[in-house]
Amino acid sequence: MLFVANWKMQLTHNESIKWLEDHFDDLQKLCEAESHNLIMCPSFTVLPWEKKPKAWGAQNCGIKEKGPYTGDVSVLTLKELGCSHVIVGHSERRRYYDETPEQTAHKVGLCKKNGLEPIICIGEMEDERNEGRTLDVLREQLEPILEVLREYDAKTLLLTYEPVWAIGTGKTPSPDELAEILNWLYVFIEDSIKIDTTILYGGSVNEYSAGDLITTSIDGFLLGKVSIDPEALKKIILSC
Ligand code: PGA
């Protein structure tokens, strides 16, 4: 299984470094022993950490490689800092920073062009789910992404299904509901593009829900809040 630790803005820089120094080696060893992989995604400032993990990811990237884009961090910088992955299109970026599906797709292209693997997030809002529009929304979010992947002749797709109503709320889809959506995603992608696809689930995964959410088609989890709790993380790694 693949685990992505999305620390968001939960820890300060110094807290992050201390956390990594205290817990990272143990977690990495545990993952290796259990044949799992862990990608850590701390804040940008933490990325130059000297004991860089093998799988090191950013939570976002700028919309261009270089230029007058105040506050953005380029994929070129992320590469220099040893990142292998970048979370792209997280619903918090779409929601609070008005990131559009086209911008998300463009960032996917920037990552692919520069040899970084984008961890692409898609998911429906609660009202869209209630209106029975989940699959339409996923299709709309996926189409521009698949177009860019085709353009770059990408060989891999690392997707995370994150229903927005499940993020940070303690709510999760039922295992059957999740299995149905993941299966739909695999079929939709397979019909559209020949690519090696990995699909994670994200949204209120914790040490209690992880075991129940494992379906035959799931490849791992994107972990938010729980990813800063080392003991809970260990339990998740052991339960999967
Ligand atoms: P959560 O966040 O695990 O805190 O719900 C998941 C995410 O948004 O990546």
Instruction: List pLDDT tens digits, range 105-144.
Output: 999 999 999 999 999 999 999 999 999 999 999 999 999 9
- Residue 84: the pLDDT is 97
Residue 79's nearest CA partner among 63, 106, 59, 56 is: 56
Residue 53's nearest CA partner among 87, 22, 8, 83 is: 83
Residue pair 185/161 in contact by the 8 Å Cβ criterion: yes
**pLDDT classification of 52: cutoffs 50, 70, 90:** confident
- Alpha-carbon distance of 138 to 142, in angstroms, equals 6
Among protein residues, the one whose CA lies closest to atom 2 of ligand 1:
224
- Alpha-carbon distance of 103 to 69, in angstroms, equals 14
- Alpha-carbon distance of 205 to 48, in angstroms, equals 28
- Alpha-carbon distance of 182 to 216, in angstroms, equals 10
Among protein residues, the one whose CA lies closest to atom 7 of ligand 1:
224
| Structure tokens belonging to residue 94 | 């779409």
Q: How far is the CA of 46 from the centre of ligand 1 (A)?
A: 20
- Whole-model pTM: value is 0.97
Q: CB of 224 closer than 6 A to ligand 1?
A: yes
- Residue 25: the pLDDT is 94
Q: Which residues are catalytic?
A: 90, 162
- The number of the ligand 1 atom at minimal distance from the alpha carbon of 204 is 5
Mutate which of 6, 96, 169, 226 for ligand 1? The one with the most ligand atoms within 8 Å of its CB, which is 6
How far is the CA of 13 from the CAs of 10, 20, 86, in angstroms?
Answer: 10, 11, 19
- The number of the ligand 1 atom at minimal distance from the alpha carbon of 92 is 8
Q: CB of 6 closer than 6 A to ligand 1?
A: yes
Phi, psi of 20 (to 5 degrees): -65, -45
Q: CB of 53 closer than 6 A to ligand 1?
A: no
- Residue 152: the pLDDT is 96
Q: How far is the CA of 102 from the centre of ligand 1 (A)?
A: 23
Q: How far is the CA of 91 from the centre of ligand 1 (A)?
A: 10
- Residue 182: the pLDDT is 96
Among protein residues, the one whose CA lies closest to atom 6 of ligand 1:
224
Phi-psi region for residue 74, left (φ > 0), alpha (ψ -120 to 50) or beta?
beta
Instruction: List pLDDT tens digits, range 157-195.
Output: 999 999 999 999 999 999 999 999 999 999 999 999 999
Q: CB of 57 closer than 6 A to ligand 1?
A: no
Q: How far is the CA of 168 from the centre of ligand 1 (A)?
A: 5
What is the DSSP code string of the chain?
-EEEEE-TTSS-HHHHHHHHHHHHHHHHHHHHHTT-EEEEE--GGGTT-TT--SSBEES---SSSSSS-TT---HHHHHHTT--EEEES-HHHHHHS---HHHHHHHHHHHHHTT-EEEEEE---HHHHHTT-HHHHHHHHHHHHHHHHHHTT-SEEEEEE--GGGTTTS----HHHHHHHHHHHHHHHHHH---EEEEEEESS--TTTHHHH--TT--EEEESGGGG-HHHHHHHHHH-
Q: How far is the CA of 206 from the centre of ligand 1 (A)?
A: 10
Residues with Cβ within 8 Å of residue 32, at least 6 apart in sequence: none
Q: Is the dihedral of CA 63, 203, 208, 220 positive or negative?
A: negative
